[in-house]
Amino acid sequence: MDATSLISLSAPLLIVILLKTIAKYLSSQQKNGPYAPGPKPLPIVGNILDLQMKEPGPEYAKWSKKYQSGICFATAFGNNILVVNKHADADELFEKRAKIYSDRPHIPMIKLVGWEGMVSLMPYGNYWRLCRRICQQHFNYESAKNYRPIIREKVHDFLLALLETPNNFASHNKMLSISFAVSIMYGYQMKSVDDPLITAANHSLLLAGSLLTPDASIINLFPFLAHIPLWLSGLMTSRKAAAEAEGLMKYMQESMLNFAKTSIKNGAAVPSLMTNFIEKPSTSQAGEEEEKAMQDVAFTTYAGATDTTIAVTSTFFYLMAKHPEVQRKAQAEIDQIIGSTRLPEFDDRPSLPYLEAIYREVMRWNQSVPVIPHALTEDDYYKGYFIPKGTTVLGNIWAMNHDEDVYPEPFAFKPERFFDENGNLDKNNRILSYGFGRRICVGKAVASSVVWFMMASTLSCFNIGKAKDEFGNEIELNGEYRTEGLITVKEEFKCSILPRSQVYKDFIQAEKNTSV
């Protein structure tokens, strides 16, 4: 929370906050049945001291063990929170009862940072349905195949960058993720991660993401404070940061849209979501609304795809360096099925079950968004417990992916866990990181293709291992992660990335020459 937010407020304003908090607290006490078990709340403030922002996944998972329940209830200043730690409970609430569990919690800072058009955070309603329909039309399983040429191009660029300057892996990782997103959304061809538009967009995302958690700004706890004068000292930090984030986001959106329109006018447009839409203009009011929705979908895709893909790729390289035995087994499978006469293609995926198991295990082992919030639009009862309307329902993906009853030795990296007793891939192919129900990630087919193709191509061409210092001693891998707003990010680490042979170096060069 802002360092001096509370102590610097004027006395009258503190009184207003206190009265509103008490009123909300008293209204929250009018319950229609028992709540699910959870930490004992304090008067008025509730469980604000029990809520976790830095490592919510593992901390909330402990609640289930402590209170012997897959669902746990808490409050904070009269706001109700239900934590869902078990997959079966998540399926029941988010899938079977999706009609009333598909809203998103109201986060006041979303409007201040200009993220009202962020589809993943948008309230459940008609405009969300319009954006969702656009996403389904362009990112469903069949449509995802249309992006394969772009995925292939960007991944092969990634391979060439790794070949030329492997020590710049972090930069190459960002380039892969971001260049793909802006290409399919706007037809924009990035030349560098230092591109001014990308720098502005990324800084906007970083600023905005840091303001959305309850502890980031007092405004998230007391929404009416968003309407007080900006000069009030205790709120200047978050309000100014929000204004900067909004300005940078609008700059990126407007610049990208202008680029798309100019490229069409000049006859140099590359097929993309926005260029394809602009080429079929409409002057009707519905057309104007759809254009806004297209812009919101485009920015949402950029925001959602970049950070998550960067996080998954970083985790993959870390795990391959840490587990050379897994890497060798995957490479043996690739060599057996594909041989050394070409690079992997998308159609090879069904023939590479061990690589598929690696994909599943990487996605299970760590998730960039450990907790996914939903909101309840009607009072509900579940397992005899009352869940009030307006409750924030947190799907703890981290807890589900580390459930010992489902995944023995959950902290071990074991792709073999996805094979049955006959040596075949089992049916547990659900990637929980993509979410649930009507709020499931619509772009999961595209995301899966990008990540799988990156894994297949990288393992085909490179050996990934621990880096060595100037004396030839191995440098231990940095296994730490950090939280940036709502995202869990892998800390940078050093690793060795070497071509498997001259044959693969030639393949990479040949692919690049072909694309040029």
Phi, psi of 79 (to 5 degrees): -90, 130
Tokens of 71: 């669902």
Two tokens, residue 467: 């880096």
H or E element in which residue 386 lies: strand 385-387
Residue 466 three-state SS: strand
Query: Could you tell me which of 322, 299, 304, 296 has the C-alpha nearest to residue 479?
Result: 322
Strand order in the sheet with 371-375: 71-76, 79-84, 392-396, 371-375
Residue in 60, 62, 32, 104 with CA at minimum distance from that of residue 373: 104
Q: Which of 466, 418, 381 is nearest to 93 (CA)?
A: 381
Q: How far apart are CA 152 and CA 157, in angstroms?
A: 9
CA distances from 29 to 71, 100, 303, 406, 424 (A): 20, 22, 38, 36, 53
Tell me if 441 is assigned to a ligand binding site. Answer: yes
Distance between start and end Cα atoms, the chain: 50
Token duo for residue 78: 């009269």
Taking the mean position of all CA atoms in its chain, how far away is CA 211?
16
Any bridge partners for residue 483, and if so which? 488
Cα separation, 325 vs 264, in Å, equals 50
**3-class DSSP assignment, residue 392:** strand
Residues 217, 211 contacting (CB under 8 angstroms):
yes
Cβ count near 434 (within 10 Å)? 21
Place of tokens 């230092």: 194
State the DSSP string of 75-135.
Answer: EETTEEEEEE--HHHHIIIIIITTTTS-B----THHHHTT-TT-GGGSPSSHHHHHHHHHH
Q: How many CB atoms lie within 10 A of CB 49?
A: 10
Annotated binding site: 441
Question: Known binding site for heme: residues?
Answer: 441
